[in-house]
Every structure is written in C-alpha cells, then in structure tokens.
Structure 1
Amino acid sequence: MSTSSHPTAAWPPGYAVHPRAAGPDAATVAAFRQVPAAHASDCLGRSVGAIGLLAYHADLKLVLCGPAITVRVRPGDNLMLHKAMLMAQPGDVIVVDGGGDCTQALIGGLMRTTALARGIAGFVIDGAIRDIAEWAEGGLPIYARGHTHRGPSKEGPGEVNVPIACAGLSVMPGDLVLGDADGVLAIRAAEAAALLPRVQAKARQEERVREANRSGTPDVERIDALLRARGCPV
C-alpha cells in the first residue's frame, strides 16, 4: 500500500511523493550534533558511509545533522528536489540519489537561498552542484559528487521519501544524517537513541588515548597483543 498522500494509481510510473517520515526525537538529534562522524562510524563497524562525495561549504567545522528527506531523481533533473525542499521542515537534511551523474547540476545558488530561508539543515547529493562560490560562503553544509555550470531539467521522473542509495550509503526516510569534515553517514532513526551512549563512550575512550599520547606513554601492550594474536613474536 502506498504511503503517499494520494492513491498509488494517481502517480504515473516513476513518480511518487510520500509524506515526511518522523526522525529521531529532537534531544537525540541535538546530542548527535556534538558527535564526530568518525566516532559514529567506528560504532557502526567502520563500514557505513557515503564514498566519493566532496564538502563544498568550505567551513570544515560546519556540522550536518538532521533527519533525512530522501529523493530519487533522473540524473540531471531536479523536479523532485524542488518538491522535497517545499516539504522539508527546519532542521531536515535532503539526501539525493542522482545516480552519481555530474553532467548537469541538480542544485545551485538560488536553491541555496531558498534552503537558508526555510531552515533546511543541508544537502547530500550523489550528483553535481553549481554556483560553488556561493556554497563556499558557508552556513549551509552540502556534500556532492562534483560540480558543473550546466543546469538541470525539471521534467522528472522522481520520487520523494523512498529508500535510496546515495554514493554507496543506504538511506531511509527519517534516518539521522550526520556529516562533518570526514564525510557523511546515516543512522537508522529507530537505532539512533541506543547508539548514542556507545558513541559517547567511544569519545571518552579516545580522550584517554589522546592524553596518554600527549604524555608520551602510548598503550604499547594494545598493539603488541594484536601482533601476538596474529602469530608475531613480540
């Protein structure tokens, strides 16, 4: 059964717009804004995250964090990206499966202005953008595959709030999207609250290691134990 606001028969083939999915609660989202993506990645097995995307917002300290509105578009066409922006609530992150195509930009400076006014938290786009000098002004995180001056079409087809793959990252509507200078990952909305204590414990562990490294007393036994487990006589 369709979860869209209209019967399935109302949508022509290749088109669908589903309601915004509820993401994690506001307190969980706020807590994850303090979490480095690398710490969350470690707690997710170091195997979850987008590959090959670049940060175009220039400010390496800018953090992307919020529930996902997902979009699947025909490469080079941004009709459904516009629809997603109209549906987004302040703090939402728009994640776009553009098929990795960089022949036409999916978003540019005018849409950036709209996103800032609407309080959209940022974009993750497996495709191209344009007007990169404007994105470099900061204030709005955006990750993309590349850039080009060639603009998009607005003909469709496309879908909003469906499961997508974005640069190797599986994203469901409402997933918590987290990104910083190291890259972007997605955390299932239902799992975010349970993951948070593990990530915070990881941060405390890393701080202990950092202090030991500063004092010149690294944990030699940890590395030697790993070597011995592999048959190395140390």
Structure 2
Amino acid sequence: MSIVVTHPPRAERAVVDALGEYGVATIHEAQGRTGLLGSHINPIQSGTRISGSAVTVTVAPGDNTTIGVAVEQCGEGDVLVVSPTAPCDMGYFGDLLATSLQARGVRGLVIEAGVRDVADLLAMGFPVWSKCISAEGTGKGVIGDVNVPISIAGRIVRPGDVIVADDDGVVVVPRLAAPEVLAAAKSREEKEARSRARYSAGEIALDVNDMRPLVEKAGTRYVDYADWAKENDA
C-alpha cells in the first residue's frame, strides 16, 4: 500500500535560500564531502543554480502516476525529487507536469530516470537534473510513496531536506543540519576568496595550501634536467 505524507517539516526558507547562494562543490566540501548525488545525475540546462526543500517521490518502473500525486503536496520553494523503485530510463516527466509544478512555485526537478520535452522545459525555464533524456512515455496506475525517505543516486533524501543543484550536480543537506552547513559554507567561501587573491598575486597552490611539507614527506626529489638526463641516459 502506498503512502502520501502531508505537511512534512521544511528547513527555514531563509536558510534554504542562503544555501542557494553557494555552489554544489562548496556545500559538498563544507559538510565534510557528503551528500553529493551520483555523477550520472546531470542538468539538462546550463548556468542555473537552485535550492529548495525536497518533496520526495518513489515511482514504479514505467509509471509516472505518483508524480501527479506529488504535485498536490508541492509548494513555493520546493524541489521535487523522484526515484524509481527499480532502474528505468523512460521519460517520466515533460512540459505538462513542469507547467503544473511551476504554477505552484516549485523550483525544479531531480530525477533518477528520464525526462522528455526538453526544448519546452528549457523554453519555460523549468530546471531539471536527470539521469537521461528519453522520449519514451510511461503508463499510469501504479502508485508509489510521497514524502518518505528515498534512496536516489547513492544518497538518502528525506522530505524537507535542502536540495542545492547547479552545473556541477546535486547535493543534499539534511534539514536539521542546514544552519550549520550554511555557516560552514560561508566560512569556506571566505577562505577561498583569500586564496583567490593570493593566486591572483602570483602565488601557487604549493604555498597557498601549504603543500610543500606533504611533498617533502613523500620523499619527492627535485632534479635538474641535465642531471636527470645523465641518470636516465636520455
């Protein structure tokens, strides 16, 4: 029997929006290199970054009925996160569902399956991160679950978790950890700004990142080419 959980808690909107100011890579690093969805989940568009609260969905292979069910549970600032209960590359989602979600203020879709009507999705500006693109349509009649913890692309996503997505992929921030991760992302961004200034001034990573002790510990030997050539009969 399927279940639809209504009104799950969401992270504070200000925190969700603030996380969206940082890139996926920054957030992934800031939370201890965790939460990154598998590299097979990619954007259909470029130059877009979103953040939002996850509305989670499981769908049966080849059946997108539950996405329609989930639309009713979506609201302003949400991101729909969809995972089939078994691998499937069919086109679960197109411009009609996107129109419905967009009208409710949903910020985007993350799906470990196929999408279609890509030209229309791009034209209407509805962001999607998907496993693939496929024109093959799905059937109707098998109902999955909405707003329960799901497994997607190697990660667990719970309803209300924060989703951040951009050209680098998708990262999930646990709802209760969102304020802490935001602070860590801010700190990391400030550190990177200082490093960037040093790079611009001509310094290199060996010094900016204090890597010379690591090179020395590894026993690396610097040899002039003329000496190396003699040693190697080059």
Same fold (TM over 0.5): yes
**Per the alignment, in what secondary structure is the counterpart of residue 77 of structure 2?**
coil
Matched pairs, number: 218
| Aligned counterparts of 2:42 and 2:206: Cα–Cα separation in 1 | 36
Higher deviation after alignment, 124-133 or 210-219: 210-219
Does the 8 Å CA contact 1:20/1:173 hold for their aligned counterparts? no
| Paired AA for residue 78 in structure 2 | D
Match of 1:174 in 2: 160
**Per the alignment, in what secondary structure is the counterpart of residue 16 of structure 1?**
coil
Instruction: Report whether the alignment pairs 1:96 with 2:82.
Output: yes
Match of 2:20 in 1: 33
As a proportion of its length, which structure holds more strand? 1
Does the 8 Å CA contact 1:73/1:159 hold for their aligned counterparts? yes
Does the 8 Å CA contact 2:74/2:101 hold for their aligned counterparts? no
Higher deviation after alignment, 180-189 or 206-215: 206-215
Computed over aligned residues only, the root mean square deviation of the Cα atoms, in angstroms, reads 1.6
Larger radius of gyration: 2
CA-to-partner distance for each residue in 1:78-113, whole Å, 9 max, x for gaps?
A: 1111111111011111101124411x2111111111
CA-to-partner distance for each residue in 1:152-187, whole Å, 9 max, x for gaps?
A: 112113000111111112101110011111010111
Shift of 1:46: 2.2
| Aligned counterparts of 1:75 and 1:114: Cα–Cα separation in 2 | 22
Match of 2:211 in 1: 223
| Paired AA for residue 23 in structure 2 | P
Structure 1 residue corresponding to 2:42, chosen from 51, 54, 66: 54
CA-to-partner distance for each residue in 1:42-89, whole Å, 9 max, x for gaps?
A: 112224211111211x231x2121110100111221111111111101
Match of 1:124 in 2: 110
Pairing 1:128-143 to 2, within 5 Å after superposition? 128-137=114-123, 139-143=125-129
| Aligned counterparts of 1:230 and 1:47: Cα–Cα separation in 2 | 28
Q: Where do 5+ consecutive residues of structure 2 fail to align? A: 223-234
| Aligned counterparts of 2:163 and 2:217: Cα–Cα separation in 1 | 36
| Paired AA for residue 153 in structure 1 | G
After superposing on structure 2, the runs of 4+ consecutive aligned residues of structure 1 that deviate more than 6 Å are none
| Paired AA for residue 218 in structure 1 | I
**Identity rate, percent:** 28
**Per the alignment, in what secondary structure is the counterpart of residue 119 of structure 1?**
coil
Structure 2 residue corresponding to 1:195, chosen from 165, 181, 192: 181
| Aligned counterparts of 2:191 and 2:156: Cα–Cα separation in 1 | 28
| Aligned counterparts of 1:171 and 1:41: Cα–Cα separation in 2 | 15
Does the 8 Å CA contact 2:36/2:155 hold for their aligned counterparts? yes
Instruction: Report whether the alignment pairs 1:77 with 2:63.
Output: yes
| Paired AA for residue 138 in structure 2 | P
When residues 48 and 226 of structure 1 are mapped into structure 2, their CA distance, relative to the original with a 3 A threshold, is farther
When residues 223 and 69 of structure 1 are mapped into structure 2, their CA distance, relative to the original with a 3 A threshold, is same
Shift of 1:231: 4.5
| Aligned counterparts of 1:20 and 1:154: Cα–Cα separation in 2 | 25
Match of 2:130 in 1: 144
Shift of 1:137: 2.2
Shift of 1:232: 4.0
Does the 8 Å CA contact 1:169/1:185 hold for their aligned counterparts? no
Does the 8 Å CA contact 2:6/2:147 hold for their aligned counterparts? yes
